[in-house]
Amino acid sequence: MNDLSDAAQRPGAEAFSHLGRSLEEIRSELGVDPVSVQSIRDPAVYELEREKIFKRTWLKVATDQELPEKGDYKVKELPVADASVLIVRGKDGKVRAFHNVCTHRGNKVVPTSGFETFGKSRANVLACRFHGWVFSTDGPLRSVPMESGFGKLDKACLGLREIACDSWEGFVFINFADPPEQSLAEYLGDFGKLFSGYPYNEATTAFRYSTVLECNWKVALYAFSEGYHVPTIHAGSLPGFRGIEHSDFKLIGPHASSTIYGLGMESAESTGQFAGVLHANPDQGPRPDLLPPGINPKRRPEFQFELPNIFPNFLIHLAAGCGYPGIAFFTHQFWPLDHGRTLWEGINYFRPARNAAERVAQFHINALHRNAWLEDTGTMEDTFTGIRSGAIDNMLLMDQEFMIRHADRSQHAYLAR
Amino acid sequence: MTDTMQMPRGFEDLAGLAAEWAGPSENARSEVRWNASAADFKAFYDAMMPRLPDVLAELGRTTLEEMDIARTNLFSLAAAFAEAAPHHELYGGSSEVPFSFSARRFVPGHGDACSWATDFR
Ligand code: FES
Ligand SMILES: [Fe+2]
C-alpha cells in the first residue's frame, strides 16, 4: 500500500520515492506509543509556540489570485503574533508584506474589519487616516502633512516595516523572523517539489468559509489530518463513500503527506446529475494527468485527494477533480487566537464555470463539502473540553493518524530550539 | 422576493418554487433552508428533481455574464436546489446536517455576493 518504489510508476515519481514510508517504517520511525495531550492542554506551551513556531516559520497568508492587480492588498489579522499584516502588490508587480502599522504613532494604516480585509489602492499609495501620513505600496514613506512641524524627520527611515514574504505556486507566505533562518524554498524543501507543477492559479473560483472554534489550534488541525474518521463522522454526508483507504504515507522534514483513495462520492441521485455537468467539461473533470508525478504515482483510478500537513498550520488537499467533482484543491488553515480559541479557514477551489449550469453544480459540490466540514468541526470543541478536563493524559494514535504523531514531533523539535 | 418570478419559456411552472426558495446569494438561500421542514424539502425535491436535467441543459446554454432576469431566477432556483437536495437525500429531511457543528457559525466569505458574479470568491 505504502510502497512508492515500484516499477509501474509515473515518470518522475522516482525522485520522490525517498519520501515514502511503509507502515512498518512509519511505526519504527515515529513509534506506536501514546502521545501526551499536555501540549494541547497547557497554556504555557501555547506561549512558547507563539515565539518558537509562529514567529519563526513560514506561514501562508494569501494567494496570488487574491491580489491579481497592482495596488491590490489584503490585511490579515494574526493575533498569534500580535500582528496586523498588510500584503500588497506593488507598482512593480511584486507582492510584499508589511506590518499594518503607521510609523508615525502606530495606528493601522489600513483600517480592518474582521480577520481579513481586502482592498485596492488606486494610486499605489496608502494613507493613514489618523494624521494623513502617506506610504507607497512598496513601503517607503511618501509624504507627511505639516512635515516642517517635526523639526527633523528622516523620511527615508520611516517606511512601512517589512516582513519577509515569498511565494510558492501562487501561495504567499510570510515569516516574522528578521531574517528568517531559511528561505521559503528551503523551508518547504521536498514538499514544495512534491506539490509543484499543478496549475493552482487556474482554479480561481474560491468558496471560503471560516469560523471561530473554542478549542486549541492543534485539536482543529488534527481533526483534519487523518482519514480514520471518514467512515464514522462522515456517515451522514458521505454514505456511499466506500473502500476508503488512507495510504502512501510520506515524511518530508517538518511536513508530511498521504493519500486518500476511495469510491462512491456520487451516490446521491442529484449529485450524479451535478457531477455529470462538471465531468462533461474536461477542465473541471477528473484530471489525474495534472497531478505532480510523486502524487498517486501508480495512477490508481480510486485516487481522491492528497492529504498533506504543511508545518505548522496549513493543509493543501490536492484533488485535480478526482475526488469531489470539480474541486481542483481545497485548503485548511488553523490560526490560534488564544490558547483555547482558533480561527479555522476552509476554501474550496474550482476552475471557473464555463456556463451557468457548471456554477450551479459547483454550488452543489461545495455544499456537500461544506457540510462534511460541519461534521468535522462538530468534534473539535468537545475534544478540547475533554482534554482540558484531565480525564485523559494521552492520545492513542493508529497508523492513519500518523500525521498527528508527526506534527507533534515537529512542534517539539521547534519548541526545543 | 415576490410571489411570482419571471422564468424562461418552458419553465413557467417553476415560478412558485422560485418565489419560495430562490435567493441571489448563499446567505439568502441558507436562511430559507434553515427554516425549512422535512415536508418542505420533500416537496421541493419531488417537484424539482424530474425537471433537473432540463434546468441544467437550459443553464448550460448561457454564460454567467449573459443571463437575463428570467435565467437569473432559474439559476437562483437551481442553486437553491443544489444546496437543498442533500437535506432530502442524505439528512432525513433535517435542515441541519445531523451530528454536526452549527451551520450558522460558518461564515462564507462569498456569503452576500451574487452567486452568478464572475469575479465571485
Ligand atoms: S498614526 Fe498614522 S499618521 Fe499619525
Ligand atoms: Fe473529515
Supply A31's cell numbers: 513509534
Locate the ligand 1 atom nearest the alpha carbon of residue A132 and give its number: 3
Find the closest chain B residue to A364 by CA distance.
B82
CB A403 within 8 A of CB A410: no
Chain A residues 294-313 with CB within 8 Å of chain B: none
Place of cell 454564460: B63
Quick check: helix, strand or coil at residue B50? helix
Supply B115's cell numbers: 452567486
Q: A156: burial class by Cβ within 10 Å (0-12, 13-18, 19+)? A: exposed
Q: Regarding the domain with residue range A7-38+190-415, which homologous superfamily does it belong to in the CATH classification?
A: Naphthalene 1,2-dioxygenase Alpha Subunit; Chain A, domain 1 (3.90.380.10)
| Whole-number percent of chain B with pLDDT over 90 | 93
Q: Chain A residues with CB inside 8 Å of B93's CB?
A: none
**Which helix (H) or strand (E) element contains residue A249?**
strand A242-252
Query: How many angstroms away from the CA of A21 is the closest CA of chain B?
Result: 34
Tell me whether residues A270 and B105 touch, CB distance under 8 A: no
Side-chain-side CA neighbours of residue B109 (13 Å): 20
Query: How many angstroms away from the CA of A328 is the closest CA of chain B?
Result: 15
**pTM listed for this prediction:** 0.96
**Which helix (H) or strand (E) element contains residue A36?**
strand A35-36
Give DSSP secondary structure letters for A168-219: ETTEEEEE-SSS-SS-HHHHHHHHHHHTTTS-GGG--EEEEEEEEESS-HHH
Residues 6+ apart with CB under 8 A from B70: B6, B7, B8, B9, B11
Locate the ligand 1 atom nearest the alpha carbon of residue A133 and give its number: 3
Q: Regarding the domain with residue range A59-179, which homologous superfamily does it belong to in the CATH classification?
A: Rieske [2Fe-2S] iron-sulphur domain (2.102.10.10)
Locate the ligand 1 atom nearest the alpha carbon of residue A102 and give its number: 2
Radius of gyration of chain B (CA): 14
Tell me whether residues B100 and A274 touch, CB distance under 8 A: no
Q: Chain B residues with CB inside 8 Å of A375's CB?
A: 97, 99-101
Query: How many angstroms away from the CA of A284 is the closest CA of chain B?
Result: 14
Ligand 1 first shell, C-beta below 6 A:
A 102, 104-105, 107, 128, 130-133
The answer to whether the Cα torsion of A370, A371, A376, A379 is positive or negative is positive
CB A244 within 8 A of CB A261: yes
In angstroms, rounded to a whole number, what is the distance separating the alpha carbons of residues A389 and A359? 46
In angstroms, rounded to a whole number, what is the distance separating the alpha carbons of residues A207 and A228? 26
In angstroms, rounded to a whole number, what is the distance separating the alpha carbons of residues B101 and A365? 19
Quick check: helix, strand or coil at residue A345? strand
In angstroms, rounded to a whole number, what is the distance separating the alpha carbons of residues A96 and A162? 8
The ipTM is 0.97
Tell me whether residues A208 and B59 touch, CB distance under 8 A: no
Quick check: helix, strand or coil at residue A324? coil
CB A57 within 8 A of CB A414: yes
CB A284 within 8 A of CB A321: yes
| DSSP tag of A66 | G
Instruction: Identify the residue whose C-alpha is closest to ligand 1 atom 3.
Output: A131
Tell me whether residues A357 and B49 touch, CB distance under 8 A: no
Q: Which amino acid, one-letter code, is at A330?
A: F
CB A342 within 8 A of CB A335: yes
Give the mutation candidate from B100, B102, B114, B120 for the A interface (greatest A CB count, under 10 A): B100
Any idea where the domains of chain A sit in the sequence? 7-38+190-415, 59-179
In angstroms, rounded to a whole number, what is the distance separating the alpha carbons of residues A306 and A320? 10
pLDDT by residue (tens digit) across A155-180? Answer: 999 999 999 999 999 999 999 999 99
Distance in Å, CA A132 to ligand 1 centroid: 6
CB A352 within 8 A of CB A205: yes
Number of other CB atoms surrounding residue A64 within 10 Å: 16
What's chain B's length in residues? 121
Distance in Å, CA A50 to ligand 2 centroid: 27
pLDDT value, residue A231:
86
The answer to whether the Cα torsion of A98, A101, A104, A106 is positive or negative is negative
Number of other CB atoms surrounding residue A345 within 10 Å: 19
Supply A295's cell numbers: 502524487
- Per-residue pLDDT tens listing for chain A (417 residues): 444 445 478 899 999 999 999 999 999 999 999 999 999 999 999 999 999 999 999 999 999 999 999 999 999 999 999 999 999 999 999 999 999 999 999 999 999 999 999 999 999 999 999 999 999 999 999 999 999 999 999 999 999 999 999 999 999 999 999 999 999 999 999 999 999 999 999 999 999 999 999 999 999 999 999 999 988 898 888 766 677 899 999 999 999 999 999 886 767 999 999 999 999 999 998 999 999 999 999 999 999 999 999 999 999 999 999 999 999 999 999 999 999 999 999 999 999 999 999 999 999 999 999 999 999 999 999 999 999 999 999 999 999 999 999 999 999 999 999
CB A40 within 8 A of CB A384: yes
pLDDT value, residue B1:
46
Query: How many angstroms away from the CA of A232 is the closest CA of chain B?
Result: 11
Radius of gyration of chain A (CA): 22
Give counts: helices (H), strands (E), chain A.
Answer: 10, 19
Supply A260's cell numbers: 486518500
pLDDT value, residue A173:
99
In angstroms, rounded to a whole number, what is the distance separating the alpha carbons of residues A99 and A364? 39
Taking every pair of C-alpha atoms in chain B, what is the biggest distance, in angstroms?
A: 42
Give the mutation candidate from B59, B61, B110, B116 for the A interface (greatest A CB count, under 10 A): B59
